[in-house]
Amino acid sequence: MGEIVLSQVKKSFGGVSIIQGIDLRIADGEFVVFVGPSGCGKSTLLRLIAGLEDVSSGNISIDGRDATDLPPARRGLAMVFQSYALYPHMSVRKNIAFPLRMAGVPAAEQERKVEAAARVLNLTPYLDRKPSQLSGGQRQRVAIGRAIVREPAAFLFDEPLSNLDAALRVSMRQEISELHQSLKTTMIYVTHDQVEAMTMADKIVVLNAGRIEQVGSPLELYRRPANLFVAGFIGSPKMNFIEGAEAAKHGAHTLGIRPEHIDIAAAGPWKGRVGLCEHLGSDTFLKVDVEGVGQINVRASGEVALAFGDTVGLAPQPDKLHRFDEAGNAAT
Amino acid sequence: MAREVSKGRKAAVTALAWGIGLLIFFPILWTVLTSFKTEAEAIASPPSFLFFDWTLENYETVNERSDYLVHFWNSVVIALGSTLVGLLVAVPAAWSMAFVPGKRTKDVLMWMLSTKMMPAVGVLVPIYLLARDTGLLDTKLGLVIVLTLVNLPIIVWMLYTYFKEIPGEILEAARMDGASLSSEILYVLTPMAVPGIASTLLLNVILAWNESFWTLNLTAANAAPLTAFIASYSSPEGLFYAKLSAASTMAIAPILILGWFSQKQLVRGLTFGAVK
C-alpha cells in the first residue's frame, strides 16, 4: 500500500519560501510525475515526502498514518537519486543488500532477495563488482535494485535519468515503466523533461514557483491546459501564443495554438513568409512570419517541400484553439 | 600537449632538485654517520665523511646506560593513544561540521585552528599545574590527554576537509535505506573516508611521536618517550656528539621507516581533493 496525502505543505529556507502550500493526493499504485522548470521546487517537494527535509508547516501522511515528523528510514519509502548515490566501497551485492542489512533481515533471506532483484534488473553477472566498474545505466539499475529489495510503500525518483546519454535514457525510461507495471507500487518521479513526464505518468503534477499549476493525466494537460504556464510547458515544440487583435477576434486575451494543429493551406486565413525551416525526415518544423499575428511555429509532415522565403497560407484547426483570459487562465 | 624542454635544462633542473634534496637530508645523514664514529672523531676538524673507523660502541653505551625499549614503548603508547582518542572525538565532530553545518561552524573551525597559533609555552604553567594537581605528571595518560588536545584541531580540520569531499546524497541514501546515525557513520561514511582517516592517523602519529615540548616538560623518568631519551644525551657536562647521534638515530628510525612505507598513503591523503 502506498497512498500519500500532502495537505498545506509549506517549506521555506531562511525566509525564502520554496514550497507555498501544496495539497496533493497520490493514490496507491499511481505513477505520479512532478514536472516543472528548474527551481520550481519539485525536488524539494520530493525530499519533503522522503523526510530528508522537514516541512515548515503542513502535514504529510503515508497510508493514513501521519508521517510529518517521522525520520526517512521509518517512512517505508525508497529513493533513487540523480547521482545514483551508490556506496562506492561496497560490491553491487552489498549495495543492494544494505537496506535489508539495516533492517536486520537474516543473511540467507538477504541473499535470496538480492539474487531475485538482480535477476529482474539483469545485474546477476555484476553482483561482485564495485560501482566504479559499472556503466551509468548499470549503476542506475543497482540504485533501483537497492530500492526494490525493501518492498517500499512507494518509490521516489529524483531526476534519475538526467546523467545518462539520450539512447540509454529512452531504454531506462521504458524499464522503469515496465517495473511499475509489474510491481504496481506507487512511484513519484521528478523530472524537468516533459517527454519523460508525458510517457511515464498516470498523473502529472506541473509545478511552478512552489505552487501546483495543474494536476492531471498527460493527455488532459495536453488537451486542456489550465493556464498559459501549463500550455507553454507541456508539448514540444511549444504552443504558439497570440495576443492583440487576432486573439480578440476569437474572444480571448491570449490565443494558443499548438504547432501540430496548424494546417498548411493556400486558402488559410493566415498568410506569411517562411523563415527557418527544419527538415527532420518525419516532421518539418517551420517558423512563419504571419502578417498581423507574429511569428508562428508550425509542425508539418516530413513531405512538405517549403524553403526559406516561400509564401505560405496557414489554417489553425478551429477546435484546437485555446483561449486564455487576462490572468492567463483558460477561458471556459 | 607537454611543453618541450631541452635536455640541458632538464639535466640542470634535475641536478638542482637533487642538490636541494640532499641539502635538506644532510643533517639526518650526518647524524647517522656520526653515530658510527668515536667521540674523538665526531668532533675532529676537519671532519671525515666516510673514511673513519666504523664502530658500534655508541649504540652499546647508549643501550647500557638507558633502556631504549621502555622509551620506545612510551612513544608508541603516547603517539598512538593520543591519535586514536583524537580520532574518536574528531570523527563525529567533523561529521557534524561537514554535513550539518550551523551558522557558527566556520567560526568554530577557525577558532580551533587559532589555538595552534599560540606558542605552547604560553600555557605551560597552567597545564603543568593541572597535571601536577591531578597526579598526571610523568604518566603516559597525562601525555596522551595533552597531545590529544594539542593535535585535535589538526585532526578535526583534516577529517573535515575529507568529509566535505563525500557527496551528501550517499549519506542521504543511507538514511533512506534505514541506517541510524551510528550505522551511517560506521558503515558508510567511515569506509568511504578510509584514505583520509588513514593519512590523518599517520600524520598525527608522526606529529605526536616527534612532539618534544610537552613530552620533555611533563615527564621525568616513568613516562619519558624517545624525545626525552635523546634529550638526556645533550648533557650539560659536555656534549657527547656520537652518543647523542646514536640515540637520535634510534629514536627517529621507527618513525622514518613508518613514513617510508606509508609515503604513498600520506601524499594521497594530503592532496586528497586537490588532485582527484
Q: What is the ipTM of this complex?
A: 0.83
Query: Can you read off the three cell numbers belonging to residue A300?
Result: 508539418
Report percent pLDDT > 70 for chain A: 99
Nearest-neighbour CA in chain B from A30: distance (Å):
21
pLDDT average, residue stretch A186-200: 92
CB A75 within 8 A of CB A66: no
Does pLDDT of A110 surpass 90? yes
Cα–Cα dist B135/B14, whole Å: 55
Rounded to 5 degrees, φ, ψ at B101 are -65, 145
* Contact call for B174 and A103, based on CB within 8 A: no
Q: For residue A198, what pLDDT is reported?
A: 93
* Contact call for B176 and A52, based on CB within 8 A: yes
User: Which residue intervals of B100-139 are DSSP H helices?
Assistant: 105-114, 124-133
* Contact call for A102 and B175, based on CB within 8 A: no
Does residue B53 belong to the interface with chain A, where contact is any CB pair within 8 Å? Answer: no
Size of interface A-B (CB pairs under 8 A): 61
Cα–Cα dist A25/A118, whole Å: 32
* Contact call for B167 and A78, based on CB within 8 A: no
Cα–Cα dist A190/A169, whole Å: 14
DSSP A106-133: -HHHHHHHHHHHHHHTT-GGGTTS-GGG
Q: Which fold has domain B66-232?
A: MetI-like fold (1.10.3720)
Helix, strand, coil shares of chain B, percent, nearest 5, are 75, 0, 25
Average pLDDT, whole number, for chain B? 86
Predicted confidence (pLDDT) per residue in B46-99, tens digit: 887 777 788 888 888 888 888 888 889 999 999 999 999 999 999 989 989 998
Does pLDDT of B223 surpass 80? yes
Cα–Cα dist A187/A31, whole Å: 5
Confidence bin at A255 (pLDDT 50/70/90): very high
For A89, the closest of B173, B175, B191 (CB atoms) is B191
User: Which residue intervals of B100-233 are DSSP H helices?
Assistant: 105-114, 124-133, 140-164, 168-176, 181-183, 190-192, 194-210, 213-217, 226-231
Domains and CATH numbers, chain A: 4-230 (3.40.50.300), 238-324 (2.40.50.140)
**Domain locations in chain B as residue ranges:** 7-59, 66-232
Does pLDDT of B44 surpass 90? no
Cα–Cα dist A214/A332, whole Å: 15
Which residues, in sequence order, are CB contacts of B122 under 8 Å at separation 6+?
none
User: Which residue intervals of A161-217 are DSSP H helices?
Assistant: 166-183, 194-200
Instruction: Look up the pTM and report it.
Output: 0.77
Residues of A with CB under 8 A from a CB of B: 50, 52, 71-73, 77-79, 81-83, 85-90, 98-99, 102-103, 146, 150
Q: For residue B273, what pLDDT is reported?
A: 44
Nearest-neighbour CA in chain A from B178: distance (Å):
4
- Give me the sign of the Cα torsion angle B135, B137, B143, B146: positive
Does residue B166 belong to the interface with chain A, where contact is any CB pair within 8 Å? Answer: no
Does residue B67 belong to the interface with chain A, where contact is any CB pair within 8 Å? Answer: no
Number of continuous H segments (helices) and E segments (strands) in chain B: 15, 0
Does pLDDT of A220 surpass 80? yes
Predicted confidence (pLDDT) per residue in A258-285, tens digit: 999 999 998 889 999 999 999 999 999 9
